[in-house]
């Protein structure tokens, strides 16, 4: 049985066979239907149909003398390839090549914004390839930085935020042996903070929560002599994320954030000014979060995260054997019942996320 996208493609091909249509009209028709399929794909087949239509448009454009038109089609085809789930590197590598060609074809005559968007998407392709060791992560960072020359905070706040989120995750992915490795954590924190200058909890709550979660991770794992201060700041970032992420509305995201928060609590003394008193109270709170984490991950069938949460719980129980009994104390922001969030229902770790044509990553 033909799907709706099959029918759309067949209709486009039939219309393109009309001899009264000019070559440019046929190109526009192919692009319009391909973009519609790509914008709201019902399945990966819609993306493959879009790519086939872009190929037909490129074939017709090859007989034109308009390199700018060719570059724009190449860029759109690249974003469709980038959107296909990455079972391997084949589609991402094709996307990378298309973005490079698109940049060459749009340099003369293309608007600064469309060139910057191609750089952004090239950065995403390089980012994915760098994760598998096929290119350098520094190449992705370079593409993101070039895009930021145009996508400024004042004129393009959404793209500015996406780029800084991607930059931060790229910095954190640099190998420890990288010459700039000693600065990567600080640069990541700075980039997350830049993104949060334009992303608000009111206008973009999900993006706000993602950025706060990732900022907390960057602070928590930064190499610094100020680990207590960084962990306290990380707790504040996780609490901001948990203003949006709840166990009832976004259970997996909530689970990831409270798990990250539990890790921070595990490494904090109960009284920062008196670290010799230990951290039994924080360990008890971390256990509550991680126990709830395991429940949610188990419910959603994530065996890997369930195992990690359970193993961490076992380690904390062992650590607590060496801790003195906790004394009653005033509630602090480390107490899950006084943190501005729901009592712990789950735990987790870092997530990944992509988003639209100009996708972003989440640590």
Instruction: Tell me which residue of 96, 47, 93, 92 sits closest to 74, measured CA to CA.
Output: 96
Q: 177: which residues sit within 8 A by CB, 6+ positions away?
A: none
In tens, the pLDDT along 98-144 reads 999 999 999 999 999 999 999 999 999 999 999 888 999 999 999 99
What digits encode the pLDDT tens for the residues 155-172? 999 999 999 999 999 998
Domain ranges of the chain: 212-363
More confident residue, 336 or 272: 272
State how far the Cα of 233 lies from the Cα of 227, in Å rounded to an integer.
10
Q: What's the gap between Cα 199 and its chain centre?
A: 14
pTM: predicted TM-score of the whole model, two decimal places? 0.76
C-beta separation of 31 from 76 below 8 A: yes
Residue 287 has pLDDT above 80, yes or no: yes
Angstrom distance (rounded) from CA 112 to CA 106: 9
244's tokens: 């949006």
Reported confidence tier of residue 354, pLDDT bands at 50, 70, 90: very low
Give me 272's structure tokens. 């920062």
Integer distance in angstroms from the first to the last C-alpha of the chain?
Answer: 40
8 A C-beta contact, residue 281 and residue 241: no
CA atoms within 13 A on the CB side of 6: 3
Q: Provide φ and ψ at 139, rounded to 5°.
A: -70, -40
Per-residue pLDDT of 178-222, as tens digits, reads 656 668 888 999 999 999 999 999 999 999 999 999 999 999 988
């Amino acid at each position: 049985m033909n799907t709706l996208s099959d029918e759309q493609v067949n209709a486009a091909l039939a219309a393109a066979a009309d001899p009264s249509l000019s070559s440019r009209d046929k190109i526009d028709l192919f692009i319009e239907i391909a973009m519609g399929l790509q914008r709201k794909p019902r399945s990966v087949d819609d993306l493959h149909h879009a790519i086939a239509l872009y190929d037909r448009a490129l074939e017709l454009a090859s007989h034109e003398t308009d390199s700018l038109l060719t570059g724009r089609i190449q860029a759109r085809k690249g974003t469709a390839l980038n959107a296909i789930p990455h079972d391997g590197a084949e589609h991402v590598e094709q996307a990378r090549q298309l973005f490079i060609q698109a940049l060459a074809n749009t340099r003369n005559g293309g608007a600064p914004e469309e060139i910057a968007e191609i750089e952004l998407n090239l950065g995403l392709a390089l980012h994915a390839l760098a994760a598998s060791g096929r290119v350098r992560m520094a190449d992705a960072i370079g593409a993101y930085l070039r895009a930021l020359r145009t996508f400024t905070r004042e004129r393009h706040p959404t793209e500015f935020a996406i780029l800084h989120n991607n930059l931060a995750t790229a910095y954190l992915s640099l190998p420890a042996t990288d010459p700039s490795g000693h600065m990567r954590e600080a640069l990541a924190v700075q980039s997350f903070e830049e993104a949060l200058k334009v992303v608000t909890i009111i206008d973009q709550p999900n993006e706000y929560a993602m950025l706060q979660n990732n900022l907390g991770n960057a602070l928590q794992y930064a190499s610094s002599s100020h680990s207590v201060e960084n962990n306290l700041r990380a707790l504040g970032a996780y609490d901001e994320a948990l203003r949006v992420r709840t166990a009832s509305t976004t259970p997996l995201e909530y689970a990831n954030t409270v798990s990250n928060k539990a890790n921070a609590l595990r490494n904090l003394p109960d009284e920062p000014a008196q670290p010799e008193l230990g951290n039994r109270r924080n360990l008890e709170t971390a256990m509550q979060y991680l126990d709830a984490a395991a429940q949610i991950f188990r419910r959603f069938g994530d065996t890997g995260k369930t195992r990690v949460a359970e193993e961490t719980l076992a380690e904390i129980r062992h650590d607590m054997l060496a801790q003195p009994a906790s004394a009653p104390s005033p509630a602090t922001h480390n107490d899950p019942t006084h943190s501005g969030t729901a009592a712990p229902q789950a735990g987790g770790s870092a997530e990944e996320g992509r988003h639209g044509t100009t996708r972003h990553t989440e640590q």
